[in-house]
């Protein structure tokens, strides 16, 4: 069982991923499409999935089947949250609202992965297996 300090460190890395990955994918998709708005749209979709897959592969200590399916579920939850929840914090750092989305995405991702952690802990407690 991971200690609280280890989970907090894992979630800090998740927040860093939520800050860095969308920025990198935005640059790639803007350069690829040649259009800022279209590039940012594609970037949001792909970066959310990439963040959750990276986090799953690194921090989830379970079977590869779960490492590949849980990120799909967490990505869908994060995408739905971004579409239907307004940004929690409004910043004025950029005119596209990038940091608003990053902060909201970070909060949604940490909450979603903590729920996954708690569910896996309950399942593993019943099976007496180690969890992530």
Q: Give the angle subtended at the CA of 125 by the CAs of 9 and 123, to the nearest 5°.
A: 85
| Cβ burial, residue 106 (10 Å; 0-12/13-18/19+) | buried
Is the predicted pLDDT of residue 131 greater than 80, yes or no? no
Collapsing DSSP states into helix, strand and coil, what is residue 47?
Answer: helix
Q: What is the pLDDT of residue 92?
A: 74
Q: Rounded distance, CA 106 to CA 56, Å?
A: 15
- 29-87 residue pLDDT tens: 999 999 888 888 888 889 999 999 999 999 888 888 988 999 999 999 988 888 887 66
pTM of the model: 0.82
- 15-44 residue pLDDT tens: 999 989 988 998 999 999 998 888 888 888
Q: Where are the domains of the chain?
A: 4-127
The widest CA-to-CA distance across the chain, in whole angstroms, is 52
Is the predicted pLDDT of residue 1 greater than 50, yes or no? no
């Amino acid at each position: 069982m991971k200690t609280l300090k280890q989970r907090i460190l894992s979630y800090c890395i998740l927040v860093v991923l939520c800050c860095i990955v969308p920025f990198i994918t935005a640059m790639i998709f803007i350069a690829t499409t040649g259009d800022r708005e279209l590039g940012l749209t594609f970037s949001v979709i792909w970066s959310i999935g990439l963040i959750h897959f990276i986090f799953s592969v690194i921090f989830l200590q379970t079977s590869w089947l779960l490492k590949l399916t849980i990120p799909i579920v967490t990505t869908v939850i994060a995408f739905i949250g971004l579409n239907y929840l307004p940004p929690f914090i409004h910043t004025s750092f950029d005119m596209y609202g990038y940091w608003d989305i990053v902060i909201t995405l970070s909060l949604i991702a940490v909450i979603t992965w903590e729920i996954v952690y708690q569910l896996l802990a309950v399942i593993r407690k019943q099976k007496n297996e180690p969890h992530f």
